[in-house]
Structure 1
Amino acid sequence: MRVLHFYKTYKPDSMGGVEELIGQICSGAAKRGVTSEVLTVSKDTSTVDFGDHLHHRAKLDVEIASSAFSLAAFRRFRELAEHADLIHYHFPWPFADVVHFASRVHKPSIVTYHSDIVRQKVLLQFYKPLRDRFLASVDTIVATSPNYLATSDVLQRYRDKVEVIPIGLDENSYAKPTAEKLRYWRERGGPKFFLFVGNLRYYKGLHVLLDALQGTEFRAVIVGSGPVEQELRAQAERLKLDNVDFVGPVGDDDKIALLTLCHALTFPSHLRSEAFGISLLEAAMFGKAMISTEIGTGTSYVNVDGLTGLVVPPSDPAALRGAMGRVWENEALATKLGTAARSRFQVNFTAEKMVNAYVDLYVRLANPNRRSLTR
């Protein structure tokens, strides 16, 4: 079986949660005999060979409201789709909706619904008719958590075609940290610190975290870069915070060392744009207590309040500070929460469990009678 994934970006051009999910599916499905290819748009049009799947890139022409557009993608999509048994879209990306209809490809199709469109409220009003037609046209919509399905008005409209497949990670893809990396980050981060890992974007709630850190003894290491980085650095300077370290983007070996050493993970995202939180999964995999906020998405499916970590109201520095204090001061609590997080990960969030669910869905949908391409 051949599957074509279509999304706006992928590794090595970007390293976010959706990209990690696509990679885990492609690599895991390869072990079950599924050949996967990924098509994105990029300034770099070379093809990347990951060994078990290929990443094709059509020339990026322009970006409007964070949505990438490419004339070359129409032809490239059609070429690759002709040899695919199934198309796997990743939502939201309005341009994919356009390509879907303009290319007139009639193959079994699924959409992994990563997030509602939250920020572009004005443009959303113009996009809604296309979005609704697109979601109605695909065979299956996959939600990444029961929480998001329950709280998304859009998903509820298509409830009869929605399946829930939680995101999973392959623990074997995370190499053990070297002694050198552990020594470096132990010296830089100190003997005890909270960790944040992710893109520095508007919905991550890091401005709330900085307010929560003011006047405390907590140390925090913030990993990542993004559009609001300079604003956050300016806020930290204004608050005279000497207990936060912006370390920028780091390699996998550094991230693994930081996950190994950190006291707990703090994840203050305050808007629904944060649909799941791969960083939470990574923390759970490493047996770390988690602190997140209740935004009605998959973050509270990964981090169960009182079991694997603490969940507080969004945009509330005092509540976040209080939760951080409980975990900081109570080693037994941090250990108990981390142990439960690890157990929950092993039961619910392995890559094997996720990939098996996707491959089973692929097999159900790939009906030979529908494998035709209308020209």
Structure 2
Amino acid sequence: MKVVQVAHYYGPLGGIERVVYQFCQGLKGLYSVEALACNTSIKTVRTEEEGIPVTRVGRIAHFQRMSVSPSFPLHLRRMKPDLVHVHMTNPLAEVSCLFSGLKCPVIATYHMDVTRQRVLNSLYAPLQRMFLERTRLITVSSANFARTSPVLSNWMEKVRVLPFGISQKASIPTERTSEMLKKLRESFPGKVVLFVGRLIHYKGIEVLVDAMRSVQATCLIIGGGYLEQEIKKQIQQHHQENKIFLVGRVSDEELIAYYQRADVFVLPSVNRTEAYGLTQIEAMAQGTPVICTDVGTGTSFVNEDGVSGLVIQPGDSSALADALNHILRDEELRSKLSAGARHRAETLFTEEYMVMNLRNIYKEILR
């Protein structure tokens, strides 16, 4: 049986791409698995990466997070799949499934709602409805997200909850991790607040920077994105250059050290585009308490208020500052949340558990 995972991109770019990678690796022993995605240039490139054939189809244009690639449906059809798994939202992949002539079953993983592109979304909505009608099943990362999604309300009979997880092996510190942790403790001896993610609008980094004006701690921001210069200006305007540091991107081994060094991890997202927050699980796996926002998705399912961290309302820098100070000043609370975070990550959000559930879903469709 051949399964094709279809996504915007393939590779270690962000949360969705990581999930696609995990699905491919977790299924390759049971099925013939290939990945189909877009390239960032007009050239089509075929590679094999860790046992997975990957086709990155050339595109002729890109706007509003959408790629234009006339040959994409042809490449999908030529793969002759027995099952297609589309990671949404992805208009190009959805059009390809609808008009490539494929007769095989289609699964969708609905990762996020489109929240900011209202005009474009109104044009896309009819296509999306056609595609969801075509699907056999729709997986989501949490029941809370499915229940509150304006798109999925008409398709609940197709919805299956499939919580994302991280590899327990990848959470094990290495010698490089230990060396990095020692350096971080020397460089930042006081309390440390950590953010990990892309520097883009919905992540709410501006809210975090504003909140840090009322918090006596060092804030480390890991990641890159189009808001980097704006965030630098905001830090300078608030005279926080000796308090907030833009670290950039780091290796996986180094990232574990940052999670271990942090006293609290923050995911200050401001809207529903943040559907889950895998970085929360990475932090929790290292015993780091989490502060996240309740944006009506899976963020507050991953981080349970009072168990693994605190949950606050989005866009409120005062509430974020209060939550940070509460955790940083209360050693007993921080210890309790640390234990709860680790337990929750190890029991509910492992890659192994996720892949087992995914395989059961595939068996349901392909039996």
Tell me the TM-score range normalised by the shorter chain. Answer: over 0.9
- CA apart distance, 1:194: 1.1
- 1:333 and 1:50 map into 2 onto residues whose CA distance is 44
- 1:308 to 2:308 alignment: yes
> Is the CA contact 2:108–2:137 (under 8 Å) kept in the aligned structure 1?
yes
Shift of 1:230: 1.1
* Counterpart residue identity of residue 276, structure 2: F
1:216–1:78 Cα change, 3 Å:
same
1:216 is aligned to: 215
Mean Cα deviation higher: 180-189 or 202-211: 180-189
Does residue 27 (structure 1) correspond to residue 25 (structure 2)? The answer is yes
The answer to whether structure 1 residue 150 and structure 2 residue 147 are counterparts is yes
Superposed, which structure 2 residues align to 1:132-171 within 5 Å? 132-171=129-168
Q: Which residue of 2 aligns with 1:111?
A: 108
SS of residue in 2 equivalent to 1:153: coil
Provide the TM-score with structure 2 as the length reference.
0.95
**Residue 334 of structure 2: aligned partner:** 334
Distance in 2 of aligned mates of 1:96 and 1:267: 29
- Higher RCO (CA < 8 A, seq sep 6+): 1
- Pair 1:90-2:100 in alignment: no
Q: Sequence identity, in percent?
A: 34
Counterpart Cα distance in 2 of 1:330 and 1:302? 22
Give, in whole Å, the separation in 2 of the partners of 1:342 and 1:215: 28
What residue number does 2:262 align with?
Answer: 262
User: Alignment RMSD, CA only?
Assistant: 1.4
Q: Secondary structure at the match of 2:266?
A: strand
* Structure 2 equivalent of residue 251 of structure 1: 251
- Distance between the aligned counterparts of 2:215 and 2:262, measured in 1? 17
Question: What are the equivalent positions in structure 2 for 1:1-375 lying under 5 Å apart?
Answer: 1-12=1-12, 15-31=13-29, 33-42=30-39, 43=41, 45-80=44-79, 82=80, 84-177=81-174, 178=176, 179-241=178-240, 242-367=242-367
Q: State how far apart, in whole Å, the 2-side matches of 1:110 and 1:304 are.
A: 29
Q: Secondary structure at the match of 1:304?
A: coil
Other structure's SS at 2:225 match: coil
Alignment gaps of 5+ in structure 2: none
Q: Say whether the 8 Å CA contact 1:24–1:351 is kept in structure 2.
A: yes
Q: State the Cα deviation string for residues 299-358 of structure 1 (Å, max 9, x = none).
A: 000001111100111111110000000111112211211111111122211111111111
Tell me how far apart the structure 1 counterparts of residues 153 and 76 of structure 2 sit (CA, whole Å).
Answer: 29
Residues 130/291 of structure 1: CA separation in 2 closer, same or farther (3 Å cut)? same
Aligned mates of 2:189, 2:91 — CA distance in 1: 44
Distance 2:188 2:250 in 1: 14
Is residue 148–residue 297 contact of structure 1 (8 Å, CA) maintained in 2? Answer: yes
Aligned residue in 2 for 1:370:
none
Structure 1 counterpart of 2:344, which letter? R
Equivalent AA in structure 2 for residue 316 of structure 1: D
SS of alignment partner, residue 305 of structure 1 = coil
- Deviation of the 1:64 alpha carbon: 1.7
Distance 1:27 1:335 in 2: 35
Q: Secondary structure at the match of 2:45?
A: coil
Query: Contact 2:34/2:54 (CA < 8 Å) preserved in 1?
Result: yes
- The DSSP-based 3-state class of the residue aligned with 1:300 is helix
| C-alpha separation in 2, matches of 1:127 and 1:299 | 26
1: CA distance, partners of 2:76 / 2:171: 32
Report the alpha carbon displacement of residue 192 of structure 1 after superposing the two structures with TM: 2.8
Q: Distance in 2 between matches of 1:114 and 1:36?
A: 21
Do the aligned partners of 2:171 and 2:286 also contact (CA within 8 Å) in 1? no
Structure 1 spans left out of the alignment, 5+ residues: 368-375
What displacement does 1:51 show?
Answer: 2.0
Distance in structure 2 (CA, Å) of the matches to 1:106 and 1:333? 55
What TM-score do the two structures reach when normalised by structure 1? 0.93
Once the two structures are TM-superposed, the CA of residue 35 in structure 1 deviates from its matched residue by: 2.7
Q: Retained in 2: the 8 A contact 1:288–1:335? A: no
Q: Secondary structure at the match of 2:84?
A: strand
Runs of 4+ displaced beyond 6 Å: none
